[in-house]
Amino acid sequence: MNLNLDYVRKQFPALSGEWTFMDNAGGSQTLKPVADRIYEYLLNTNVQLGASYQVSRVATKRVDDARKKMVEFVNAREDSEIIFGSSTTMLVRILSLCISQNWKEGDEVIVTNCDHEANIGAWRDLEKKGMVIKEWRINPDTFRMETEDLKKLLTDKTKLVAVTHTSNILGTLNPIKDYAKVVHDNGSLICIDGVAHAPHRMIDVQDTDVDFYVFSFYKVYGPHMAMMYGRKELLLNMPGINHFFITNDDVPYKFQPGSVNYELSYGLMGIEEYVNGIAKVHGKEGSFRDNTEFSFRLFAEHEEVLAKTLLDYLNPKNNVKIIGETNYSKDLRVPTVAFMVDNTKSDSIVLKVDESKIGIRFGDFYARHLIDDLGLAERNGVVRVSLVHYNTTEEVNNLIVALDKII
């Protein structure tokens, strides 16, 4: 079954403009149903939650309903496991500050050299408290995180492993379920950065058996906010960061200082409307979770076509090196494609593509350790084309025409 792109693109007003958006890993375009709900909340229920009067009761329900829908979206067990925040960076920082209060000097944390700094920096800072930070490095030949390398780093002092589900540069789908088993067999915890994964694949925190999972909604067609899933028993057993009178049992509130952004939370209901609409227009109707599984399967199949179109152009070129998986298979990668061109700085390519009103990007994308370790910093990082399901093969072919004049 082919994805109904006419329906899809009508849900994103920005796509009717003159620019083609291929910098989606930096931030997707926003769904109209999301914007409509933010507008509706601010104009009609912009009050503090928890009061007895009717408007406050409506506002409270709107925010609560959004949290419940996100339980379904990631397949958590209950809404107390869903923590909202301003960004993935902030939520990981809060987690590191809270969970490390139960750790002691000499305890170990493993980070990778290919994650976004959001899932590295907060853990590295724990060195100041006497904890040991180890680095799990990608295989520079395959651009993959080797499980055997992880096993060599684990010890009885390892408290947590922080790793990405999908790199925002490499685009490779990491076997998180396998990683989680290895980590748990060692008696340790695992924290997943799903920011570059969530726009492309359905999240299932129970099936992958992760302890913490973090991503940002502005990469998933929603508002500029983020969420973190955490196992309830883990959240209960660590101190929070909120006011002194917020009890330790009050999860997720004890991790949400200043409360959440109400209107953006309600905006998340627009994601549910979109996913349900996708299923309906393709002749399927079920629960939100069922519709999520169906829709993201369609997204992956369409994105595989997009990735194939671009990689079939780039791979044969002797002067181009793909930084990541060269195979277009949806089982191996998402359509976030980074590359280098021999004897050419990445910014010069992107600036010329700008002239065709196609938005791509160059740089390190906050995966600074990866770019430094690959020796690409002085080339101004990589050229990155990050596609999502609302892109079309026609748009990719237009990009190819633009690139063909340059490389």
Q: Is the pLDDT of residue 190 over 90?
A: yes
What's the CATH class of domain 35-271?
A: alpha beta
Q: Report the distance separating Cα 361 and Cα 53, nearest Å.
A: 49
Strand order in the sheet with 382-386: 320-322, 336-341, 382-386, 361-363
Give the angle 105-109-113 at the CA atoms, nearest 5°: 140
* Mean pLDDT confidence for 7-16: 98
Q: Is the pLDDT of residue 1 over 90?
A: no
* Mean pLDDT confidence for 384-396: 98
pLDDT for residue 258 = 86
Exposed / middle / buried, residue 247 (Cβ in 10 Å: 0-12, 13-18, 19+):
exposed
pLDDT for residue 13 = 98
* Mean pLDDT confidence for 148-157: 98
Note the pLDDT tens digit of each residue in 224-266: 999 999 999 999 999 999 998 999 899 999 999 988 999 999 9
> Mean pLDDT over all residues of the chain?
97
What residue ranges do the domains of the chain occupy?
5-30+288-404, 35-271
Note the pLDDT tens digit of each residue in 68-124: 999 999 999 999 999 999 999 999 999 999 999 999 999 999 999 999 999 999 999
Q: Is the pLDDT of residue 268 over 90?
A: yes
Q: At what angle do helices 269-281 and 54-74 cross, to 10 degrees?
A: 60
Which residues have CB under 8 Å from 264's CB, separation 6+? 38, 217, 223, 224, 225
pLDDT for residue 125 = 97
What's the predicted TM-score (pTM) here? Answer: 0.97
pLDDT for residue 202 = 98
Length of the chain measured in residues? 407
CATH of 5-30+288-404, one of 3.90.1150.10, 3.20.180.10, 3.40.190.10, 3.60.21.70: 3.90.1150.10
* Mean pLDDT confidence for 144-149: 95
pLDDT for residue 293 = 98
Note the pLDDT tens digit of each residue in 215-225: 999 999 999 99
Which residues have CB under 8 Å from 270's CB, separation 6+? 31, 32, 33, 34, 35, 36, 37, 222
